[in-house]
Amino acid sequence: MKSIGVGLLGLGTVGTGVVKIIKNHQDKLMHQIGCPIEVKKILVKNVNKEREVEIDPSILTTNINDVIEHPEVDVVIEVMGGVEETKKHLLAALRNKKHVVTANKDLVAVYGSEIHACASENRCDFYYEASVAGGIPILRGLVDGLASDKITKLMGIVNGTTNFILTKMSKNGSPYEEVLAEAQSLGFAEADPTSDVEGLDAARKMAILSTLGFSMNIDLKDVSVKGISQITEEDLNYSKRLGYTMKLIGIAKQDGEKVEVSVQPTLLPDEHPLSAVNDEYNAVYVYGEAVGETMFYGPGAGGLPTATAIVSDLVVVMKNMRLGVNGRTIVSPQYEKSLKENSEIFSKYFLRIHVKDQVGSFAKITTIFSERGVSFEKILQLPLKEKDLAEIVVVTHTASLKDYEEILQQLSDSDVVSQVKSSYRVEGDDVQ
C-alpha cells in the first residue's frame, strides 16, 4: 500500500510533537485515511543536534530543496517559523504541487491570502489550524462548525506564554522575568518572546480569527495592540481587590458593517469564564447571532497539543486527496473591511492615578470625567508613602475610546495629577 509522504520543515518543540503523533497514532490515522503516513525528509538548522525523538539521521537535511522537491513528499508541514524566507519556501512547495500545513501565525497573518491564492491555483490545500490557540480546533470550529451563523464577537485568551506569566504572577506572586524564563524552557514562548509579551503574537492570531469569523480581510495593522510587560504587582493587587482578574485579551467585535479588533491587558470579573483559564491554556469565546454564546477551551501552546492540530490538518488534506477536492475550498472573504472609529468603540476602564494630596484634587479629576459624560463605577483613594501624594483607583462606566483618550490626555496635563500610573480596559460585565 502506497504511503502518504510528509516533509517536515523544523524539528523543534512542535516538529518533535508531529513526529511523535504520526508514530504513536499510526493505527488510528491509517483507519481514517486508508494508508500509512511516512516522514520522508526533515529540514533542520543543525543535523548533529541531539533530538528528543528517535529519527533516522539520514532523513535530516539542511537543504530546503531536499524536502520541497522530494518526489515522495505529498504534504509539507512547516514548523520552523520565520516569515519572508519561509513564505518563499511554501510558495515553491505549492508550485511543486505539495500541500502545505503550517503552525506559523506570523506568516499566515501577513501572507495568508497570497499563499491561499497560490494553493488554489495549484489545486493544493493550505491549512493552519495550529496557528491559532494551539491544540484547540477553533479555526475549523469557526469555518465549518459555525458556517451557518453570523459571528458578531470573538473574545479570547490566545497566547499561552502571557497567560502562563499572568497566572503565576497573580496566583503565586512570582516575578515576571522568572516566569517568562519558565515559559521559554517549557517551549511555549516564541523564538523571540517579545512578540508574546508585547501582544504581537496574540494580535496575529486575532487577525486570523477575525478574518475567518467576519469573512473580511483583517490585516495585522488593523489590530490595536498592547502587551503585558508594563503590568505591575500593584495593578494585579488592585484588580484582585476590586474582584477582577487580569488577562491579555483579544477582542474582535462587529456592529452592523463595522468591526474593531484589539489585544490588550484587560480586567475581567473573577466570575467571568475567561478568568478561570489559567497557565498556558487558551480559550476563545465566540458569539453567533443564531447560536448565541460558545466557548472553545484547551492548551494554546506546547509540542503535543499544537502537533495535534497539525496532524488533524494532515488528515483533512488526505481525505481531500481521496475525494480529489484539494484546493477547492472557498476562502476569499465575502465582505469589504470597514473599521470602527474610536468614537464607535466602547468599554469600561480601570485607571490608577497619583494625585497631589490636597483639597480640590479629587473634584478636579471628577470634572475631567464628567465633562465627557463619563461616570465612576468604583473608586478607591489611598495615601501613598511619597509625601503629599495620594493614589486614586477608579473603574469607569462605559465610555467611548475617543472620550477616554481625551480624558487620559487631560489628566496628564492637569496640575493636580503627578502621574497616570496605569490604565486598562475592563470587560465582561455584560457578556455580549
Ligand X SMILES: NC(=O)C1=CN([C@@H]2O[C@H](COP(=O)(O)OP(=O)(O)OC[C@H]3O[C@@H](n4cnc5c(N)ncnc54)[C@H](OP(=O)(O)O)[C@@H]3O)[C@@H](O)[C@H]2O)C=CC1
CA atoms within 13 A on the CB side of 249: 24
Which pairs count as long-range contacts for 427-432, CB under 8 Å and 24+ apart, including other chains?
427/155, 427/249, 427/251, 427/266, 427/267, 427/268, 427/347, 427/348, 428/268, 428/269, 428/272, 428/274, 429/269, 429/348, 431/287, 431/293, 432/152, 432/153, 432/287, 432/293
- Is 245 annotated in some ligand binding site? no
Buried b (16+ CB within 10 A) or exposed e, 398-408: ebbbebbebbb
Q: What are 365's three cell numbers?
A: 479629576
- The footprint of ligand X on residues 244-263 (CB under 6 A) is none
- Residue 129 engages Na ion in binding (rule: CB under 5 A): yes
- Is 11 annotated in some ligand binding site? yes
Helix ranges restricted to H, 142-277:
160-172, 176-185, 194-197, 200-214, 233-241
x/- map, 308-337, Na ion, by CB under 5 A: -x----------------------------
- The footprint of ligand LTNE7NMQ on residues 159-178 (CB under 6 A) is 159-161
What lies within 8 Å, CB to CB, of 50 at 6+ separation is none
Tell me whether residue 205 is one of the annotated catalytic residues: yes
Q: In this structure, how many other beta carbons lie within 10 angstroms of the beta carbon of residue 348?
A: 21
CA–chain centroid gap for 299, Å, is: 12
- Is 360 annotated in some ligand binding site? no
- Residue 208 engages Na ion in binding (rule: CB under 5 A): no
The distance of closest approach from Cβ of residue 309 to ligand X in the complex, given in angstroms and rounded to an integer, is 8
- Is 13 annotated in some ligand binding site? yes
> φ and ψ at 37, to 5 degrees?
-110, 135
- The footprint of ligand LTNE7NMQ on residues 198-217 (CB under 6 A) is 201
Binding test (CB under 6 A) with ligand LTNE7NMQ, winner from 74, 125, 129, 190: 190
- Whose Cβ is closer to ligand X: residue 105's or residue 352's? 105
- Residue 133 engages Na ion in binding (rule: CB under 5 A): yes
Q: What are 290's three cell numbers?
A: 443564531
The distance of closest approach from Cβ of residue 287 to ligand LTNE7NMQ in the complex, given in angstroms and rounded to an integer, is 23
- Is 16 annotated in some ligand binding site? yes
The distance of closest approach from Cβ of residue 49 to ligand X in the complex, given in angstroms and rounded to an integer, is 5
Binding test (CB under 6 A) with ligand X, winner from 134, 137, 156, 193: 134
Measured CA angle at 161 (ends 138, 286), to 5 deg: 25
Binding test (CB under 6 A) with ligand X, winner from 1, 46, 323, 415: 46
**103: enclosing H helix or E strand:** none
- Contact indicator for 55, 38 with CB cutoff of 8 Å: no
Binding test (CB under 6 A) with ligand X, winner from 68, 203, 267, 301: 301
CA distance 27 to 32: 9
CA distance 372 to 119: 51
- Is 9 annotated in some ligand binding site? yes
- Residue 196 engages ligand LTNE7NMQ in binding (rule: CB under 6 A): yes
* Nearest Cα residue to 224 out of 252, 256, 195: 252
- Residue 191 engages ligand X in binding (rule: CB under 6 A): yes
- Collapsed DSSP state (helix, strand, coil) of residue 258: strand
- Residue 279 engages ligand LTNE7NMQ in binding (rule: CB under 6 A): no
Binding test (CB under 6 A) with ligand LTNE7NMQ, winner from 301, 307, 417, 426: 301
- Is 153 annotated in some ligand binding site? no
- Residue 325 engages ligand X in binding (rule: CB under 6 A): no
* Binding partner of residue 14 among ligand X, ligand LTNE7NMQ, Na ion, none, CB cut-off 5 to 8 Å per kind: ligand X
- Collapsed DSSP state (helix, strand, coil) of residue 161: helix
- Residue 189 engages ligand LTNE7NMQ in binding (rule: CB under 6 A): yes
- Residue 128 engages ligand LTNE7NMQ in binding (rule: CB under 6 A): no
According to DSSP, the β-strands at 258-269 and 417-426 are: parallel
What lies within 8 Å, CB to CB, of 277 at 6+ separation is 157, 163, 247, 283, 297
Q: List the catalytic residue out of 40, 87, 98, 205.
A: 205
- The footprint of ligand X on residues 330-359 (CB under 6 A) is none
The distance of closest approach from Cβ of residue 123 to ligand X in the complex, given in angstroms and rounded to an integer, is 26
- Residue 17 engages ligand LTNE7NMQ in binding (rule: CB under 6 A): no
> φ and ψ at 389, to 5 degrees?
-120, 150
Q: Which stretches of the chain bind ligand LTNE7NMQ, using CB under 6 A? A: 134, 159-161, 188-190, 196, 201, 300-301
Q: Which residues are annotated as a binding site for NADPH?
A: 105
Q: Which residues are annotated as a binding site for NADP(+)?
A: 9-16
Q: Which stretches of the chain bind ligand X, using CB under 6 A? A: 10-15, 43-46, 49, 79-82, 103-104, 130, 134, 187-188, 190-191, 301-302, 306
Q: Which residues are annotated as a binding site for L-homoserine?
A: 190
Residues assigned a catalytic role: 205
